[in-house]
Structure 1
Amino acid sequence: MSSPNTARRAGNRRRASIWPNSPPNRTSGAESVESLESRPLTFAAIATALGDGWRNANATRGVSIAYAGVFTLIGAVIIGTLIAIGRTPFIVAAAGAFMLVGPAFLAGFFAVAKKVGAGGTPSVATVASGFAAASASIWVIALVCALLFMIFITDVAILYSYMVGGDPVFPRDMLPTPANVLSFMFWGLVSGAVIALMLFSISAFAVPLLCDRRANLVGAIVTSVRIVFGNPIPAMVWAFVLSATTIGSILLLPLFPMVLPVMAYTSYALYRSVLPEAP
């Protein structure tokens, strides 16, 4: 009877015969979870990353606003439609819903940040190259984002039907805001916060790791969750700052194409601070 070590060596020989240039038991181009050395997520790191995000957004204003402008136009259509059909209170929920799909579109911003960091001049093509260069596992994260988005929209639609009902609510009806509308917005935000926290934990550092191809899907998610729960207070503060500024700028839509790039570049700078690449 062959020993376990003999069987393992035989398995590695068979693997090498199929992929002769790939090391055994390792995904090509990705670091193992153990080799990803992380630094503590601190308030100082968040403050420094915010400064880096601001500078990167200013240095790439044209391409950054152009990319963020796509989402701004989509947001304008959604907000305009909700107002036109008398579903004004749903605008807050729609703004919060962006936090659930936003991670799927960060690869474009991260590619711009890397281009600037390398001393290059980014263009619109740089945004597209970010998705092409990212690991295919990034689309699994996008699928999770879409699933959580659908769950959240279903939840708030049910809340809306019970708390607000079918009567149209236009902007003129929001001052003063009726008690049932305030209740809907509160419970809608609570529902969204729970789902967004789940997504933040698995995607905050997993998305940039996959964009840089430094880990496989499982390794990236494990690393992200480990960092978030290993540094809970700074992580929750960063999550609050990220969500408050993003949702606030969506509600004040002309600010959105300027705020979104800053927060995206800050996210990437924070990732590089906490998970620096080996020299």
Structure 2
Amino acid sequence: MEKSLIYFRIKIIIKSLFLILFAGIIILLIFIIFFLNKDRRFILAEDLQGTQLSQFMFKVLRKQYPDYSDVYHEQSVAYNKRGLYHEGFKLLDKAVLLNPKKHLGYRGWMKLEKLKDYKGAIIDLEKLNALTPNDDVQGENINYLLAISYQGLSNYDKSKHYYERFFETTDSATLNLKSIVYVNYGTLLEKLNLNQEALKQYNISLKGHFKFSEAYFHKAEVFEKLGIKDSSKYYYKKALHQYNNGSKLKDVYNEVFNELYESDIIKAIPN
């Protein structure tokens, strides 16, 4: 009887401890979600991005600090990563409204990279360029992003203008790491029937560390236009070789600008 009483008391103590622990966790969560310093809460919600807790914390922060633009921006990221652009852009638009200088670039980049909305990207990027000229957006020079946006709209003269501004405002060390820029510029020059200048750009690209399949492919195109068939065939085959070795521009999340596919190369190789 005495042993049973002892066990009963132990069970009561253990249950009480668990209840105290559970209540403590709930109180701690309430404190973190509602009362912790707003910047620390933002960092925590950012680290938990994509979870229900993160989204709830962002909603609380928006309610408590309706002018906190970073919250709208960061909450939009999880939606946009999942392709829920309608929900994501409603939040991102609010961030831009609150602080255009800080968030216009990201929205313009999103329109360019995710939506292929070249016109919308140009509007945002040109507004930002007026506020902070020649700035970087998501690690890319704004002039380059404007160049490919206009190129995507087939406004080749305007695109060429921004490519030239990009080359003028970018140091040589950075250019050496951006060999794909020369390829995209070369494709633009081809559209303007400046084939020799385009060929020069492809050659510059191939002098860099990354020997992209795209550079060989478009170089082959130029030789084909110039009627130099042997060289054209050689570089098409070289493009296929590089492609199969994984040396091509790719992004696991997006279709890249001027995306090259294996079928494009195979189709171009003459019999």
What TM-score do you get using the length of structure 2 for normalisation? 0.24
Larger Rg: 2
